[in-house]
Amino acid sequence: FNKDFERYAQNLKDSAKLEDFGLFLSKTIGKIGDRHSSIRDYEIKDTLFLPFIYAPDDNKVLVLKRNEDKKLALLNVQFPYLKKINGIPTETFIKQILPDEVTAPKQAYFTKAVRELRDIQKIYTVLNKPLPKQINLTLTDSSFKNDTVLVVTPVNRTKRSIYWDDEFERKYALTKEEDYNKKETISQLFDIKNQIGYIQIPSMVGKEDAPLLFDKLNSFMIAMQNDSKALIIDVRNNGGGTRDITYELAKYLVHPDSIYVVNVTKQRAPIPLSEEFKESLHNRNLFSLAELDKVEQEIATSFLKTFKPMYNLDDKKYSEYYFGLLNGKKLAQQSYYYNKPVYILINEKSFSAASVFVAVFKGIKNIKIVGTTTDGSSGNSERFELPNSNLRLKISTMVSFQKDGKILDGYGTEPDLKIERDINQILWKNDTQLEKLRKLILAKITNQTPE
């Protein structure tokens, strides 16, 4: 990406359009792989849209509509899939339209790009092409051998369709952080059925902002001690927030005799780190080796002997390692150990602190990760404003490693058991992933074979 900046500077004239400069920065910074980065305060034309709704179905694109009763349905039952856009294969087209997301995990990128096919004027601006007055959509059948062509005219904002989302995500799409401190919201997030507990976490809200949610979380876990035989924690479509919920649940999920290194980070900053940076890391439950107790130091030192990070970072630019640990002995003082199977349900829209949550608990005894690979990211971002353009930038300053040495950004965390959406879930008929998982768990706890 450094060469991109050099080329841009060489070709720069006396002035540049803010839109063009913003797009250039967005594309270039996207190559870095920082999933938290963003460029703000520049506008892209976004007033014309493709009709219909576009949904991901494995590696294919479904074209949907809404019926009179607002339910989703296939636009064309015989030809449900989008094969080409103006003669360009959909797969090729999709790879070009989100340059700022190009390093996202494959499924996370695909889902986001498919949803945003609707925003056709914005896409053509990104592609630096004029928007045609009409768009040819080639629809195909399930074999991808028989096609039909639909000629459409972009529609204005008043006629545009919704983005596709899972129905359970739409339920909380407009929920604000303070709403998670209201009993009417909280009560919908907890359930127990057939001795299987269920906790839905739509957002990684902080303890200070939602103390009632944390009270309910603890009272529910106490009830689960005798009333359940397994637990599902659902962080699908969770866009992140803080790590508070991670450490609140860790009180119940980590054996008292265990200490785990669950996250290893390095902070980019002037060395030695300022107190401000240290506090920022501490707020994420990250501590230097010297800040750990003697037993924790031994565990961390032993961990580093076999730890193989994918990047060897310059010690002059980056701090020493800061460790995220789960110390079962310390955690046990606050609660009890839930010694039954725990299943964390994830998908490609589990992002930021939600993806950290998943990475932290992966590989811990009694815990299985289920669903599809997360959209991993962890960055400790800083914000600043460019003096001449007044564009606002957000860029990460921390490199966050998973236990296997991979960073979160661009890789995410893979499930132990893969369960994908099916057509019924895509069409909002039911939550297939959750239902399949419940059936698998029920079969295990009743010693039956699932159908």
Radius of gyration of the chain (CA): 24
Specify the residue for token string 């340059």.
99
ω before 211 within 30° of 0 (cis)?
A: no
**CA angle (104, 108, 114) in 5-degree steps:** 115
Instruction: Summarize pLDDT for 100-157 with one digit per residue, the tens.
Output: 899 999 999 999 999 999 999 999 999 999 999 999 999 999 999 999 999 999 999 9
Q: What is the pLDDT of residue 216?
A: 98
Q: For the structural domain made of 44-164, what CATH number should be given? A: 2.30.42.10
What contacts 327, CB < 8 A, 6 or more positions away?
A: 254, 259, 296
Q: What is the pLDDT of residue 196?
A: 98
Position 167 confidence tier, pLDDT thresholds 50, 70, 90? very high
Where does residue 100 rank: exposed (0-12), middle (13-18), buried (19+ CB within 10 A)? buried
Q: Is 451 a residue whose pLDDT tops 50?
A: no
CB contact at 8 A, 375 and 412: yes
Q: What is the pLDDT of residue 12?
A: 84
The pair of structure tokens assigned to 177 is 């952080």
Instruction: Summarize pLDDT for 397-440 with one digit per residue, the tens.
Output: 999 999 999 999 999 999 999 999 999 999 999 999 999 999 99
Please give the sequence-ordered ranges of beta strands (E in DSSP) within 135-288, or none if there are none: 135-140, 147-152, 190-193, 196-200, 230-234, 259-267, 287-288
Q: How far is CA 162 from CA 15, 341, 355, in A?
A: 37, 38, 26
Give span(s): CATH 3.90.226.10, the chain.
168-445
Closest by alpha carbon to 400, among 258, 238, 240, 214?
A: 240
Q: What is the DSSP pairing of strand 60-66 with strand 417-418?
A: unpaired
Q: What is the DSSP pairing of strand 230-234 with strand 196-200?
A: parallel
Query: In degrees to the nearest 10, what's the CA dihedral of 17, 21, 22, 24?
Result: 140
CB contact at 8 A, 252 and 338: yes
Q: Identify the sign of the CA torsion 38, 283, 302, 257.
A: negative
Closest by alpha carbon to 318, among 241, 399, 424, 248?
A: 399
Q: CATH number for the 168-445 domain, one of 3.90.226.10, 3.30.70.80, 2.40.40.20, 3.40.50.1100?
A: 3.90.226.10
The pair of structure tokens assigned to 260 is 């785990």
Distance CA 209, CA 397 (A): 25
Q: Identify the sign of the CA torsion 202, 208, 209, 210.
A: positive
Q: Is 449 a residue whose pLDDT tops 70?
A: no
Q: What is the pLDDT of residue 437?
A: 99
Q: What is the pLDDT of residue 354?
A: 97
What does the pLDDT average to over 308-318? Answer: 96
Distance CA 67, CA 171 (A): 19
Least confident of 30-34, 211-215, 226-230, 343-347: 30-34
Least confident of 16-25, 68-77, 271-280, 285-294: 16-25
Q: How far is CA 327 from CA 202, 283, 292, 435, in A?
A: 26, 17, 11, 33
What contacts 165, CB < 8 A, 6 or more positions away?
A: 115, 173, 237
DSSP tag of 37: -
Q: Is 162 a residue whose pLDDT tops 90?
A: yes
Instruction: Summarize pLDDT for 42-66 with one digit per residue, the tens.
Output: 888 899 999 999 999 999 999 999 9
What contacts 436, CB < 8 A, 6 or more positions away?
A: 419
The pair of structure tokens assigned to 226 is 């005798």
Give span(s): CATH 2.30.42.10, the chain.
44-164
Closest by alpha carbon to 380, among 311, 277, 309?
A: 277
Q: Is 444 a residue whose pLDDT tops 50?
A: yes
What contacts 432, CB < 8 A, 6 or more positions away?
A: 419, 421, 422, 424, 425
Distance CA 124, CA 59 (A): 22
The pair of structure tokens assigned to 244 is 């508070």
Position 450 confidence tier, pLDDT thresholds 50, 70, 90? low
Q: What is the DSSP pairing of strand 381-385 with strand 196-200?
A: unpaired
Length of the chain: 451
Q: Identify the sign of the CA torsion 115, 117, 120, 123.
A: positive
What does the pLDDT average to over 217-223? Answer: 97
Q: What is the pLDDT of residue 149?
A: 98
pTM over 0.85: yes
What does the pLDDT average to over 277-286? Answer: 96
Q: Is 82 a residue whose pLDDT tops 70?
A: yes
Q: Which helix (H) or strand (E) covers residue 56, if one does?
A: strand 53-57
